[in-house]
Amino acid sequence: MILTLFQIAALAGVAILLGQWRASVRRRNEATWDSLVARLRADWSARDLSEHFLWQADMNLTPEETWTRIQGAHGLWAMYQNASVIIEMADFAARTGACNDTELIATLHSDALQIRVCALMALAQYACTQASEGVRINAHRAATMYTGMAARMTRLLQDNAAIILPDFVAAM
């Protein structure tokens, strides 16, 4: 009897997860460029990280300066959230034919996933030890990857979809 209930519960759980996955795929496929840009965090910008943010991947800051400029944990969380939106933007560009550079799309995916991992590690450390040296170093690493990812996304849009580039630059 208990085994049967467990099997039914497991089957129901799998069915719910599959339904949620299907709905998220449908939402992603129905997304427009404007809806993706609107999902970027408007209350935070990484423009202070570099003079040439969005155009060059260079960032000449110390971990302490980076921590201050990203506004601490607030900036880490914004980078985490924006990285997932960048993945969807790259997928949108590939899906609509705006970009055929599969290597650049794969690099954007990889960067975004690394940023998310690094930001989560820094946030977990911050929750335990506040703004220690390790937290600042992980935040600096995430910010460096974020500026590189933003510059690559800008290059992708500039080369393949210049019409939508101003919306991206304004949102970042």
- Summarised one tens digit per residue, pLDDT across range 47-73 is 777 666 666 666 677 888 888 888 888
Is residue 76 within 8 A of residue 122, CB to CB? The reply is: yes
39 and 20 in one domain? no
54 and 11 in one domain? no
Count of domains in the chain? 2
- Domain holding 43, by residue range, is 33-171
pTM of the entire predicted model: 0.76
- Summarised one tens digit per residue, pLDDT across range 72-127 is 889 889 999 999 988 888 888 788 776 777 888 888 889 999 999 989 988 888 88
39 and 22 in one domain? no
Tokens of 75: 């900036």
- 34 CB contacts (<8 Å, ≥6 apart)? 167
- Summarised one tens digit per residue, pLDDT across range 16-55 is 999 998 988 788 777 787 888 888 887 877 777 766 666 6
24 and 73 in one domain? no
76 and 18 in one domain? no
130 and 104 in one domain? yes
Residues in the chain, how many?
172
Is residue 108 within 8 A of residue 90, CB to CB? The reply is: yes
83 and 163 in one domain? yes
Tokens of 130: 């506040």
